[in-house]
Amino acid sequence: MAEAMARRIDCDIDLLRAGAFLHDIGRSVDHSIMHAVIGASIAADLGLPREVVEIIRKHVGAGLDEQDVIEMGLPKGNYIPDTIEQKIVCHADNMVSDNKFVPHTYSVDRLMHKGSVRGARRIADLHKELSKLYGEDLDSLVLALGPYPNMKGACAPFTVPPEARL
Ligand SMILES: [Fe+2]
């Protein structure tokens, strides 16, 4: 989904791919909202670039505001996506549910249900902002790609170099 958005939105595609692949690395430890903070810490400990670490830390919803940070007990900091790569990873994530592409309203409705009106509004706003840059409503990608895209050939064969193995 992130790559599909990047076809018409100018960004650093290598950074975007790295962020998209790694955004949920924190789920290897924790499935709560803390997975973003834990994931950023894992990425930082691995020596990954600061830009990738920040994508991971800010990838929840369309970002978290100060009130969210306090209510959720997260470490103080800015959790609002600023860069285009951070925004695309956030929003691509908003348009994926497990292995299925979904319109952004899926995530808006989910947050409304949870009572997070501000979070839902931020997703709707991010959707508008990125759709404008894309030149078309991004929900059209769900139709264009289909709900279950064929991922065959989506990634080049990847080998972890011995020095990078854990
Ligand atoms: Fe996540």
pLDDT tens, 69-119?
999 999 999 999 999 999 999 999 999 998 899 999 999 999 999 999 999
Measure 118 CA to ligand 1 centroid, in angstroms.
18
Measure 150 CA to ligand 1 centroid, in angstroms.
22
- Global confidence as pTM: 0.90
Instruction: Using DSSP, state whether 57 is helix, strand or coil.
Output: helix
Measure 98 CA to ligand 1 centroid, in angstroms.
11
Average pLDDT, the chain: 93
Query: How many helices (H) does the chain have, and how many strands (E)?
Result: 9, 2
Could you list which residues have their CB under 5 Å from ion ligand 1? 24
Contacts of 117 (CB under 8 A, 6+ apart): 111
Check pLDDT > 80 for residue 165.
Answer: no
Measure 27 CA to ligand 1 centroid, in angstroms.
7
